Structure formats: structure tokens, C-alpha cells
Amino acid sequence: MPKFNANLTMPFNEVQFLDRFEAAANAGFKGVEYLFPYPYQREELAERLAKHGLTQVLHNLPAGDWAAGERGIATIPGREKEFQDGVGKAIEYATALGCKQVNCLAGIPPKDASADKVRETFVKNLKFAASSCRRRAFACCLRAARRQGMGPFGDGACTQKNGQLRHRPEILASPRPGEDVVASDQALGASANDEIHKIDGRGGASEQRNHPVAQ
């Protein structure tokens, strides 16, 4: 039986963000996620989770200047160091919050960057993120999106066939603890809108049906 978590970025907007933890708990949720924890102190977020008996299911890696329209930096050549620093920051927060997986947003590559350079950058960054997370027993997820303005997994790097996203080609990362990173040109073979989250029984860890998670 799936157990659904609340994404605090979107619901409960009638109260301030830090009050949404209580609202989610009162609504019966046991797990929460949100886009970015970074505007808040780790200790403050951890206290809210503990106070309301919630599990932190997921948060994203730093995604560049969100207000300016950036939606991740994993595919942007020249910003590899910033990406790597962001992975470290995400892991610091995940450790403090007891969160066992983080999500990588691909980003919108520059229009003047070649497809080969974008792919090279994306693969390099995903390998770094997956390896860094694996060493700390975290999972690094990549969500296939079918929304305009969300980068390679939304605009042009994938084609649709029978309602599914397929590689054209890109990378599949295999970042679960104990597994190797895999670069593959195989089809994603999963629904683009499959964003179901469930909390499993492994000490508060969570499994998210993002793509790819493991192959």
C-alpha cells in the first residue's frame, strides 16, 4: 500500500513555510519533501521534523538562481565546480535532516552550447553526484519531466512514444548505495508523470519513483 508524502512547497500555502510541517502532520502525513531546504537553518528544519513526527523524504540539489529562471545547473558547461559544491551542501542538509535521497534537476543548457558538450557535462556531474551520495549511503534521483522550461528531461533531450519518455540519448544514473554508476542509451521506459513517493520501512528512509533511480 503506497504511503504519500506532502510536498511542502505547494500545499498548505495559507501558512508560512515552517508552519507547514505541523499542518502536514495534522493532515495525516508522515513524510514530507520540498524543493529546497537551503534558506533555513538545518537545526531549525530538523527540530520541526522531530516535533511533528515527520520523515524528510527528499529535497533537491541546489539549482542555481531559481528566481532568475534557472532550473538546475547539471547540464550547464563551466559550472561544474558550483554543481559539486551544491552536492556537498545537499548532503550536509540531508545528513542533518535524516533524509536518505536527494534529487538532481538537470537544468536548461545554454542555447549556444553543443549537444555533445551538454551531454558530457551532464554525465560528468551525475557521476559525481551519484558517487558522492553512494559513499554516504544516500540515493541520488533524476526525475523525467514532461514540462516546458525544465531542461533536457523536459525540452528536447527526450522524445515521447505512447505517453512515455525515451532517451535520445542521455544518461541513466544508478546511485543507490552499493551499486555502480551506469551511463546508458537505453529507453527510460517509465511514465513521464510518475512522481509517486512512498516511505518504506528502512529506518525512515524513502523510495521515490523518479527516473532513473537504479538499473
Is the separation of the CB atoms in 141 and 213 below 8 Å? yes
CA gap 104, 84 in Å, rounded = 12
Domain boundaries, the chain: 6-208
CA gap 209, 190 in Å, rounded = 10
Q: Which CATH superfamily is 6-208 part of?
A: Divalent-metal-dependent TIM barrel enzymes (3.20.20.150)
Parts of the chain with a pLDDT under 70: 1, 143-215
Q: What does the pLDDT look like over 8-54, one tens digit per residue?
A: 999 999 999 999 999 999 999 999 999 999 999 999 999 999 999 99
**167 has which bridge partners?**
158
Residue 135 CA to chain centroid, in angstroms? Answer: 17
Q: What is the pLDDT of residue 136?
A: 85
From the CB of residue 5, how many other CB atoms can be counted at a distance below 10 Å? 22
Q: What is the pLDDT of residue 144?
A: 57
Q: What is the pLDDT of residue 3?
A: 78
